[in-house]
């Protein structure tokens, strides 16, 4: 599994506990901020110890990489690639990674929103359909979901890389 823009690795640990189809042996948490690794390891060191003690030995690897400059090796042999903060990346960066770095057959999970009042949100969509349409050329078997909050909607698209 590769969790892109992973922040502190929270999603990695949710996947370790909640993913039931197959055991996840290796998760790469990829973020450009070097603090994400330090904070993540502090936050989850006790959980890592408990997981090892209880037989949930999963290797969580923090990779400090800028997706605009990373190589294809980040996605080698990955069955699932998630990018849950598309609103923070230029669409061209997302498209380039989908087109050139992720192998066909990989399960892809993408999330974004329509929350424009945050100056760090540089790539929002006005609707679930608009967000999903950005990935028509990259994904097969797409499923779309929306969760409404008080001031914005959160969008999720799941599909298989063509």
CA distance 15 to 18: 5
Residue range 109-115: mean pLDDT, rounded: 98
With helix as H, strand as E and coil as C, how does 134-146 read?
A: CCCCCEEEEEEEE
Of 61-75, 93-107, 108-122, the least confident: 61-75
Using pLDDT thresholds of 50, 70 and 90, give the confidence band for residue 70.
confident
Closest-CA residue to 94 (of 79, 80, 108, 76): 108
Residue with tokens 């999903």: 132
Kindly report the average pLDDT of the chain as a whole number: 91
**pLDDT tens digit sequence for 80-108:** 999 999 999 999 999 999 999 999 999 99
pLDDT > 90 fraction of the chain, expressed in percent and rounded: 68
**pLDDT tens digit sequence for 10-43:** 999 899 888 877 778 889 999 999 999 999 999 9
- Has residue 76 got a pLDDT over 80? no
First to last CA, the chain: 18
Q: What is the pLDDT of residue 26?
A: 85
Global pTM reads 0.90
Residue with tokens 């294809």: 72
* 131 within 8 A of 125, measured Cβ to Cβ: yes
Using pLDDT thresholds of 50, 70 and 90, give the confidence band for residue 69.
confident
* 48 token code pair: 């890592």
């Amino acid at each position: 599994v590769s969790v892109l823009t992973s922040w502190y690795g929270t999603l990695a640990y949710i996947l370790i506990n909640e993913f039931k189809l197959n055991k996840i042996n290796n998760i790469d948490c990829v973020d450009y901020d070097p603090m994400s690794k330090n904070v993540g390891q502090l936050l989850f060191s006790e959980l890592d110890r408990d997981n090892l003690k209880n037989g949930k030995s999963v290797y969580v690897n923090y990779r400090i990489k800028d997706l605009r400059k990373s190589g294809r090796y980040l996605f080698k042999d990955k069955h699932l690639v998630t990018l849950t903060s598309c609103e923070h990346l230029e669409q061209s960066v997302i498209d380039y990674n989908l087109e050139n770095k992720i192998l066909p057959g990989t399960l892809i999970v993408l999330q974004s929103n329509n929350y424009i009042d945050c100056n760090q949100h540089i790539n929002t969509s006005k609707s679930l359909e608009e967000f999903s349409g950005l990935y028509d050329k990259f994904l097969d078997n797409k499923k779309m979901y929306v969760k409404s909050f008080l001031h914005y909607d959160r969008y999720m698209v799941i599909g298989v890389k063509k």
